[in-house]
Amino acid sequence: MHWHKIGYYAGCAATLAVCVLSAWKLIDYYGDVRSSKHQLDEAKTLYREANQTTQTKALPPFVPIPNTMPVDLKSKSPFAASDRANLPASLTVQERFKTLLQTNSDVVGWLKIDGTTIDYPVLQAEDNAFYLKKDLYRNDNVTGSIFMDYRNHIDRPEYHWIVYGHYMNDEIMFKGLLKYKDEDYYEEHTVISFDTLYGDLKWLIFSVYYTDVNEDYIRTEFADDEQFWSFAGDLKANSLYDTGISVGADDTILTLSTCSRTEEGGRFTVHAKLITATS
């Protein structure tokens, strides 16, 4: 009987310990979420105030202009879309980013989709692991940050830009991307704004779908335009529904990627092509 009591109390103690640990983790999680929301609200204020009080600089000539752009805008590009390897002669940081850069020099742009919760600064580190669990101030935070693939360069034309973000339960980061599985939702939110330090870019969504980490959807290197065209065609063909938007060898693609929560290693992706570049 004595041993039964010891076993009983030991079991109760173990259960209590598990409950306390779970509660602590939950408190820690929501503390991180609150901290992240507060930081992002501050960042939005800094960015918007700077945007209202300063006039952005002229867009440098590195932005690749797709064939879908109106002729009057396309003619302003000093090189054809196929000249992606050319480097710009000079770069000027837009005034509205300068305060954010003082907060974190890893800021490379701002991502926004009108009418959604996606409205965030975009960071970039030397690898794709750092900002998985680091906030805007580089502090540990389970929500992480929205970040650009370390292989990308915002100071030169490229075939494919990629931006990542966590799927969080509190409508922050990239959870909202999964709403694009609904075609009606897509029809109301077709354009992405990804403004970089050097210019303001609009992107038109052409494909959305579920995938996983083993699929070749985050490729950044291509031998030539033909190889890129084949890759872009695969992204288009994978879409959950036909968006009616074509994509070609002369386009530049932006991919947004998050966890899908459907299976281990599952991902949900949104692909868009560059349509306008403004200053």
19 is catalytic: no
Write the CA distances from 274 to 9, 42, 117, 133, 157, integer angstroms: 64, 29, 21, 29, 12
> What is the Cα–Cα distance from 44 to 100, expressed in whole angstroms?
10
> What is the Cα–Cα distance from 273 to 201, expressed in whole angstroms?
10
Give the active site residue among 4, 160, 259, 271.
259
> What is the Cα–Cα distance from 175 to 196, expressed in whole angstroms?
22
Helices (H) and strands (E) in the chain, counts: 5, 8
> What is the Cα–Cα distance from 35 to 42, expressed in whole angstroms?
11
SS3 for 256? strand
Query: Hey, what are 142's tokens?
Result: 């389970």
Q: 266-278 and 200-212: which strand pairing? A: antiparallel
Reference 96, options 198, 218, 237, 234; nearest CA is 198
Q: What is the 3-state secondary structure (H, E, C) of 61-73?
A: CCCCCCCCCCHHH
160 is catalytic: no
SS3 for 207? strand
Query: Nearest 5°: CA angle at 259, between 64 and 156?
Result: 20
Query: Hey, what are 39's tokens?
Result: 């930081």
Give the active site residue among 12, 160, 166, 271.
166
SS3 for 214? coil
DSSP 147: E
CA atoms lying within 13 Å on the CB side of residue 120: 28
Q: Could you list the active site residues?
A: 166, 259
